């Protein structure tokens, strides 16, 4: 039996989605033109042509807008991570492929920002968790848990190991972006070695 076509969103929902996308599109342009530090909420509102009150129905600050933009980045990376998880023959291959893909993704995002930002403006980073970042964490945690069950990884706490993998990749990735040239392969090799050697060296008592 054919599936029913999902109903189209109503006019109110379409307006809300349109307003949110307009704010995010304007924020990208403002951050690129002025730099993240110099940009203000007023600059973003002016670019949208929406009322100030409309902006604050969606976001409370420019930090929240940037977090939403970062969330979109995590949303784009999520399918890449899941594909690598399905293709990897074992846990070590998954870690290597995922870290390499993440650093290449970071470098591409950084290059796009560098091409637009004002001279000398550092690339801003989001340090709090967004919903899509939480989804990426869940994918990594589930991959760890599956490998533990299959015997492909030591019996460790999947939450702790996922957090450690992501923290190492994130911190090494930020240092990678700050250096010239941006060396994705060298950074990935270092991060993978830290993750895998640390995993092998875990005492059984803390696994």
Lowest mean pLDDT of 5-14, 23-32, 73-82, name the range: 5-14
What is the model's pLDDT at position 28? 83
Specify the pTM.
Answer: 0.71
Query: What are the sequence ranges of the domains in the chain?
Result: 8-60, 61-206
More confident residue, 35 or 80: 80
Nearest Cα residue to 199 out of 150, 148, 149:
148
Measured CA to CA, the distance from residue 161 to residue 62 in angstroms comes to 32
Q: Is the pLDDT of residue 185 over 90?
A: yes
Cα angle value 128/131/135 (rounded, 5°): 110
Q: Is the pLDDT of residue 187 over 80?
A: yes
Measured CA to CA, the distance from residue 179 to residue 150 in angstroms comes to 39
pLDDT confidence bin for 132, thresholds 50/70/90: low
pLDDT confidence bin for 15, thresholds 50/70/90: confident
Mean pLDDT of the chain: 82
Measured CA to CA, the distance from residue 129 to residue 70 in angstroms comes to 10
Q: Is the pLDDT of residue 188 over 90?
A: yes
Measured CA to CA, the distance from residue 123 to residue 177 in angstroms comes to 9
What is the model's pLDDT at position 1? 45
Lowest mean pLDDT of 81-85, 158-162, 164-168, 199-203, name the range: 199-203
What is the model's pLDDT at position 101? 93
Top-tier CATH class for 8-60: mainly alpha
Query: Which of the given ranges, 14-18, 27-31, 96-100, 129-133, has the highest pLDDT on average?
Result: 96-100
Measured CA to CA, the distance from residue 142 to residue 72 in angstroms comes to 21
Q: pLDDT tens, 79-128?
A: 888 899 888 888 889 999 999 999 998 888 777 766 655 555 555 555 55
User: Is 1.10.357.10 the CATH classification of the domain at 61-206?
Assistant: yes
């Amino acid at each position: 039996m054919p599936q029913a076509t999902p109903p189209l969103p109503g006019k109110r929902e379409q307006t809300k989605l349109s307003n949110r996308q307009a704010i995010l599109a304007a924020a990208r342009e403002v951050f690129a033109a002025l730099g993240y530090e110099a940009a203000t909420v007023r600059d973003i509102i002016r670019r949208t042509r929406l009322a100030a009150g409309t902006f604050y129905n969606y976001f409370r600050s420019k930090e929240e807008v940037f977090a939403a933009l970062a969330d979109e980045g995590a949303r784009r990376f999520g399918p890449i991570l899941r594909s690598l998880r399905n293709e990897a023959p074992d846990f070590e291959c998954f870690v290597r492929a995922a870290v390499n893909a993440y650093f290449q993704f970071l470098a591409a995002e950084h290059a796009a920002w560098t091409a637009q930002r004002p001279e000398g403006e550092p690339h801003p980073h989001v340090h709090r968790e967004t919903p899509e970042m939480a989804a990426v964490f869940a994918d990594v945690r589930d991959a760890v848990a599956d490998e533990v069950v299959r015997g492909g990884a030591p019996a460790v706490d999947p939450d702790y190991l996922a957090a450690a993998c992501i923290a190492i990749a994130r911190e090494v990735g930020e240092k990678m972006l700050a250096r010239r040239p941006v060396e994705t392969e060298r950074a990935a090799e270092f991060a993978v070695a830290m993750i895998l050697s640390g995993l092998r060296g875990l005492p059984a008592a803390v696994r």
